[in-house]
Amino acid sequence: MSASKPTRATRATDATDTRPARLVLADHQPQIERLQRRLFLRSSLSIGALAMLSGCNMQDNDSVDKVLWAMSRWNDRVQAWLFDRNKLAPTYSAREITDPFPFNAFYPEFDAPDIDGSTYRLEVSGLVADKRTWNLDQLRALPQASQITRHICIEGWSAIGQWRGVPFRTFLERIGADLNARYVGFKCADRYYSSLDMATALHPQTQLTLDFGNAPLPAKYGYPLKLRVPTKLGFKNPKHIAAIFVTNTNPGGYWEDQGYNWFSGL
Query: Quick check: 159 binds Mo ion (CB under 5 A)?
Result: no
In the bound state with Mo ion, the residue whose beta carbon lies nearer, of 57 and 206, is: 206
In the bound state with ligand MTE, the residue whose beta carbon lies nearer, of 28 and 228, is: 228
Query: Quick check: 260 binds Mo ion (CB under 5 A)?
Result: no
Kindly state the smallest distance separating residue 80's Cβ from ligand MTE, in Å.
21
Which residues on neighbouring strands pair with residue 86, listed in sequence order?
A: none
Query: Quick check: 234 binds Mo ion (CB under 5 A)?
Result: yes
Kindly state the smallest distance separating residue 254's Cβ from ligand MTE, in Å.
7
Kindly state the smallest distance separating residue 235's Cβ from Mo ion, in Å.
4
Which residues on neighbouring strands pair with residue 209, listed in sequence order?
A: 165, 226
Q: Which of 153, 159, 219, 243 binds Mo ion (CB under 5 A)?
A: 153
238 contact choice in ligand MTE, Mo ion, none (CB below 5 to 8 Å, kind-dependent): ligand MTE
Q: Considering only the stretches 95-103, 148-156, 187-195, 218-226, report the one whose residues sit in contact with Mo ion under the rule CB under 5 A.
A: 148-156
Query: Which of 56, 76, 81, 46 lies closest to 4, judged by CA?
Result: 56
Query: Which of 29, 160, 12, 188 lies closest to 97, judged by CA?
Result: 160
Binding positions for Mo ion, 72-111, rule CB under 5 A: 104
The residue ranges that bind ligand MTE (CB under 6 A) are 102-106, 151, 153, 188, 190, 192, 220-221, 234-235, 237-240
For residue 122, the 8-state DSSP code is B
In the bound state with ligand MTE, the residue whose beta carbon lies nearer, of 57 and 165, is: 165
Distance separating alpha carbons of residues 173 and 129, to the nearest angstrom: 10
Kindly state the smallest distance separating residue 155's Cβ from Mo ion, in Å.
6
Amino acid at 181: A
Kindly state the smallest distance separating residue 172's Cβ from ligand MTE, in Å.
20
Query: Quick check: 127 binds Mo ion (CB under 5 A)?
Result: no
Pairing status of strand 241-247 against strand 123-126: parallel
Residues shown for the chain: 266
Residues 6+ apart with CB under 8 A from 191: 254
Distance separating alpha carbons of residues 36 and 19, to the nearest angstrom: 24
Query: Quick check: 235 binds Mo ion (CB under 5 A)?
Result: yes
In the bound state with ligand MTE, the residue whose beta carbon lies nearer, of 126 and 234, is: 234
Element (H, E) at 21: helix 21-27
| DSSP character string of 156-177 | TEEEEEEEEEEEHHHHHHHTTB
List of residues contacting Mo ion (CB under 5 A) = 104, 153, 234-235
